[in-house]
Amino acid sequence: MTTALPQSVRITDITGRDGFQNVKTWIPTETKKAVLSQLVEAGVTAMEATSFVSPKAIPQMADAAEIVAHMLENHPGVTLVALVPNLKGAQRAAECGVRHIAYIISASVAHNKANINRTHEESLADLAAIAEACPGLEITLSMPTVFGCPFTGEVMLDTVLYLLDESLKRGAAKITLCDTIGVANPVQVKHVVRGVLDRFPGRDIGVHLHDTHGMGLANTFAALEMGIDRFETAAGGLGGCPFAPGAAGNTPTEDTVNMLNRMGVRTGIDLEKYLRAVATVKDGVEAPLPGHLHAARTYAEFSFYTV
Amino acid sequence: MTTALPQSVRITDITGRDGFQNVKTWIPTETKKAVLSQLVEAGVTAMEATSFVSPKAIPQMADAAEIVAHMLENHPGVTLVALVPNLKGAQRAAECGVRHIAYIISASVAHNKANINRTHEESLADLAAIAEACPGLEITLSMPTVFGCPFTGEVMLDTVLYLLDESLKRGAAKITLCDTIGVANPVQVKHVVRGVLDRFPGRDIGVHLHDTHGMGLANTFAALEMGIDRFETAAGGLGGCPFAPGAAGNTPTEDTVNMLNRMGVRTGIDLEKYLRAVATVKDGVEAPLPGHLHAARTYAEFSFYTV
């Protein structure tokens, strides 16, 4: 049977954070700025542009302050999100003028430990400390490994719901469910999303789906069918988690927008212009771009078919 | 909302035909035989193994008779399908002992002309001639460009339904709806499949989805939600149509089986063994393999999660 999809969706482009963070070779700050500006020119209105983490842990994010300054100066209308792993990161972000942060608590204890070296209790305590110390910050709780953990396999929905509930109590405003290693399947996405929607009605829920096993767009469609209208995607499918073995590319923004266009779901993103940003990434970043559309070249020859 | 999926699906593996036919460099017949035997060892019970076409048009298929002999001698239990473009091909296939053929009429007039140099009327007349001349053959009507044409864009559902109706009247037993250039979207798949199911209730309907724009598994899921339980896929995503510019890989069998496994939908295919066949293709065939699973390597580390 068919289901009505949302008429429009909000893309949070994560090229600057999840895309760049996993690239081993240093990407010059000017290249990063150029890419992010091209994303804005293509119609991106929300982006996770960088991460305030220890430069020792992720050297690629060492220029976070400069990236934020670039965005605030040149693209003040864009909703600028910075990822932070802890109170120190949140404070640095706030000092730089950031107003939206993504704070991460992994659904899997083992991945939370590997990723940010904390127990769930420590992560929740830090979230409360951030909300208290930085009252001007809007906090999105980004939850890795909701659909599976690289270390311990299956993750219980009850654990996800418990952690989300505790996070909302401590000041998180939005929720993003992340398939960090790309092992979610569409049936599971529907099941988990329904569980979260039922528990937190009216809450802003987004998804972050990796394409490791080619299920990125299938899971996107499944989430759409459940009414989800916020998606995190990256140019060319760049990305992966440095602390999750086997994690591969994000779901490509341009492939997502192409599918949405064809289904009559609006994103506000201009595909031709977005592909120029992908070309800049291809030229300026030493990493494979697993996305399909930039390689297929012929997409524009076909009329868009919607029913 | 969620929909009950079929409990099991039938995979028709098309590595031998749609996979190999688009490879420019000659694949030794012994390599082809080895791959097809490995597919059978992995649990494949139905395959489109070759094509009885003019060797001038598609040199790679010149060993069709030898491939058929190999399959009939070594794997008599497998449902062996050969693609044929015309009466001559059907007669050659029948002489070789083939009992199942796929006969192609493209939904798009322009693609039918480019692909097999015929009008729709000529194609339908030839189908009637095949049914009369080869009464022992089970005919599947494989229809390219159902979801879009590389030359003329959008294809009307009414045209598809008309051609299917006329084909069934002339002796076709089954129907396969093909997204030759990988431009279908999940909403469209549901719309077209519903139209075909409504018009031909109880008929065996399969789909053949290319992954050109990364929507292969999304469209697979959409078709599954409509109750479709027969899919044509190829090892590693090998393939493409030689007469359709922009066509790229088939939806990979192993990626499809992985998604189905994770959703609790049975295929009878052993993923580990299937990946050995993919490795043989990787070693023995000069072509890119766009599939995800064979590159991700880590899939087996995670428990399968079904709900």
Model confidence pLDDT, tens digit, residues A19-53: 999 899 999 999 999 999 999 999 999 999 999 99
Closest chain B residue to the Cα of A215, Cα to Cα? B217
Decide if pLDDT at B101 tops 80. Answer: yes
pLDDT band at A248 (very low <50, low <70, confident <90, very high): confident
User: A296 and B212: CB-CB below 8 Å?
Assistant: yes
Cα–Cα nearest to A23, from A292, A285, A291: A285
Decide if pLDDT at A278 tops 80. Answer: yes
Contacts of B214 in chain A (CB under 8 A): 211, 214, 216-217, 252, 255, 259, 291-293
Residues A114-165 have pLDDT tens digits of 988 999 999 999 999 999 999 999 999 999 999 999 888 999 999 999 999 9
Nearest CA of chain B to the CA of A84: how many Å?
A: 28
Decide if pLDDT at B249 tops 90. Answer: no
User: pLDDT above 90 covers what percent of chain B?
Assistant: 85
Q: Is B241 a catalytic residue?
A: yes
What value does the mean pLDDT of chain B take? 93
- Residue A260's pLDDT is what? 97
A162 Cβ contact list (under 8 Å, min separation 6): none
pLDDT band at A307 (very low <50, low <70, confident <90, very high): very low
* B25 contacts chain A (CB < 8 A): no
Query: Average of pLDDT values for A6-26?
Result: 96
Q: Residue A209: phi, psi to the nearest 5?
A: -120, 125
pLDDT band at B2 (very low <50, low <70, confident <90, very high): low
Decide if pLDDT at B241 tops 90. Answer: no
Give the angle A212-A214-A218 at the CA atoms, nearest 5°: 120
C-alpha distances in Å from residue A107, one per residue of A130, B30, B205: 19, 50, 41
Helical residues (DSSP H) of chain A, grouped into ranges = 20-21, 29-41, 64-74, 87-95, 109-116, 120-133, 157-169, 186-199, 216-225, 253-262, 271-284, 293-296
Q: Judge whether B15 and B35 are in contact, CB under 8 Å.
A: yes
User: A222 and B221: CB-CB below 8 Å?
Assistant: yes
Residues A90-114 have pLDDT tens digits of 999 999 999 999 999 999 999 999 9
- Residue A71's pLDDT is what? 98
Decide if pLDDT at A64 tops 90. Answer: yes
User: A218 and B214: CB-CB below 8 Å?
Assistant: no
- Residue A296's pLDDT is what? 80
- Residue A56's pLDDT is what? 92
Cα–Cα nearest to B292, from B236, B230, B208: B236
User: B214 and A215: CB-CB below 8 Å?
Assistant: no
Query: Average of pLDDT values for B39-59?
Result: 96
User: B183 and A5: CB-CB below 8 Å?
Assistant: no
Q: Which two tokens stand for residue A217?
A: 């767009």
Query: Average of pLDDT values for A272-290?
Result: 93
pLDDT band at B302 (very low <50, low <70, confident <90, very high): very low
- At A294, the amino acid letter reads H
What value does the mean pLDDT of chain A take? 93
Which value does ipTM take for this structure?
Answer: 0.94
Strands (E) in B181-280, as ranges, are 205-209, 230-233
- Residue A2's pLDDT is what? 55
Nearest CA of chain B to the CA of A155: how many Å?
A: 9
Indicate which of B149, B305, B306 best probes the interface with A, i.e. most A CBs within 10 Å of its own CB.
B305
Report which of residues A193 and B57 the model is more confident about.
A193
B198 Cβ contact list (under 8 Å, min separation 6): none
